[in-house]
Amino acid sequence: MLALNIVFVLYGLAVFISFAFVLFGKKTPQQVILWFLVILFIPIFGMLFYHFLGRDSKSHKVFFDKSKTDKNHFMQFISTSQKAKHFNQGTDELENSHYIYFGLTKKMKVLNEGEETFHEIFTAIKSAKKFIHLEYYIIHEGVLSKKLISLLEQKSQEGVKVRLIYDRFGSLRFRNKSIARMRKVGIEVAPFLPFKLKYLNISLNYRLHRKLIVIDQEVVFVGGMNIADYYIKPLGTLGKWRDTHLKLEGDIVNGLHFIFLTDWHFVTGKFLNELNKINRDVENGKINTTMIASGPDDEYSNIRLTIFRTLNQAQKYIYLSVPYFMPDESIRLSLINAALKGVDVRILLPMLSESQIVKLGNQAGFRSLLKAGVKVYYYKSSFLHSKVLVIDDEISIIGSANFDQRSFDVNFELSIKSEDKSVAVEMRNYFLNDLRSSSVVHYLNFSKRSLATKVMERIAFLFSPQL
């Protein structure tokens, strides 16, 4: 009897502590009430679910320490250049953030096809003289990964330093045999938040969603494409994936390289001091470009705030392509406000989806958007994985971030904001061309969906941070 009483007391104490975490976390009143109910009515598992997947990402000490360390490194980083006063000025972003970098891009090439993207990547890798730094969410075994590994091995044997960070969750299909083969020839490979007891409560939820390659601190590839064969040939029911990537040259490369350096320090404990400096030899261009990194180590959710401010600047049109569309209230209201004041707001989503739950979650906010005049389309040709926002032939935002809470608050993401008119026009034309392979969602037809579908949409939306 005594033992049973002790169990009840300990359980009550655990529930109380969990309630305290929920109450003092950075959550909306609705989220607090939802988590209270989950913890209360799903004994033990509700608490486990919250502590592993529901806790405020920015409350974890490991991410707080990362941010503090990164800020110190950033101050050292920009102090190596006489142009330090230029950094983080001239933009409307959070100018004091060490995860935002303003630079002048010399060349910006938009890559919309997998074959062209990987041809450019492999060509640049072959030309590397000093180092090749890569970080990816997904690396799947296949034709592309084999060619990439082969090239990296060749460059390593030539004396080029090769370092790779991969997300352990996203790259489950990246074989240990391939990793061992790379390490054997001197390539440094490190998983991001590996499945170890030290990181157990965060490794299941927080993911490195970035796709980045830095070569010799002169050229960068960044965007939405992972290392997987579905970018070069149709695979399964989703077909050949449609995505967008960028090749950049110029000063902006410095900021993107800094992100790799801080991520490398986070996963290995080593900071590459010999590379911790601005490359003063890069030739600046005329394209105003902002690098925005975001994640649980970012106090202000940089990507969300950048998107929020950009949406509210729109005067003519807002064109958005994205596979996961479950925005919070601020972004949803920004889109509605734009449509109500006469801005042409169009959202392009994939008809084909990786899961029915995701598709239901995407639809959860359609009603208010459609009613306000936002036009929603489904891309039918294949799976749309492109994450592109274009506004008024003036601004483009391209990167890894979706329009959902996971991208805004949980994942480590990386986006590029371009203020080049020619790039914006190019992205607008790509968007309009994609609409030719799309079908529009009509408000009246959408309103006729069944009650069961509506209920499933709301349930899917509630769990959107975990999708």
Tell me which residues are annotated as active site: 209, 211, 216, 385, 387, 392
Please give the span between the terminal C-alpha atoms of the chain, in angstroms, as a whole number: 43
Residues in the chain: 467
User: Coil, helix or strand for 419?
Assistant: coil
Residues 6+ apart with CB under 8 A from 3: none
C-alpha span between 28 and 432 (Å, rounded): 37
Classified as helix, coil or strand, 319 is: strand
Number of Cβ atoms within 10 Å of the Cβ of 107:
12
DSSP string, 329-386: HHHHHHHHHHHHTT-EEEEEEESS-S-HHHHHHHHTTHHHHHHHT-EEEEE-SS-B--
DSSP state for residue 284 in the 8-state scheme: P
Determine phi and psi for 360, rounding to 5 degrees.
Answer: -65, -40
Give the DSSP letter of residue 411. S
What tokens were used for 252?
A: 């902006």
Token pair for residue 39?
Answer: 């913890």
Burial zone of 171 (CB within 10 Å; 0-12 exposed, 13-18 middle, 19+ buried)? buried
One DSSP character per residue, 109-154 reads EEE-SHHHHHHHHHHHHHT-SSEEEEEES-B-SSHHHHHHHHHHHH
Residue in 461, 96, 80, 27 with CA at minimum distance from that of residue 298: 96
299: left (phi over 0), alpha (psi -120 to 50) or beta: alpha
